[in-house]
Amino acid sequence: MAVRKVAVTLPEELYELVERARAVEHRSRSEVIQEALRTHFGEAVYTPTEDERRRLIEALEAVDEHPGALREWTDVRSELWPTA
């Protein structure tokens, strides 16, 4: 699949939302924004369960309270899936 780079200007509040999601979900800015665009234009994307939503909100709140507690995705993944 061909890719193209684009520069996007975001209001501060949208930028912060992207950054928070990126940090908690261990994804790139591009991935977060691509998913938002797919959702906007109606392409099917993963929808988290209510439990996943609750846990994500808790994680976002924890990041706000303790930003230094962020962990590398490789560390988290090795705990969740030790054989991966």
Give the pTM.
0.51
pLDDT in tens, 32-62: 999 999 888 887 667 788 988 888 888 888 8
For 72, residues 6+ apart whose C-beta sits below 8 A from its C-beta are 26
d(CA 45, CA 36) in angstroms, rounded, equals 9
Domain presence at residue 62: yes
Domain presence at residue 6: no
* Domain count for the chain: 1
Residue 44: give the domain boundaries: 12-80
Domain presence at residue 2: no
Helix axes 12-25, 50-65, angle to 10 degrees: 110
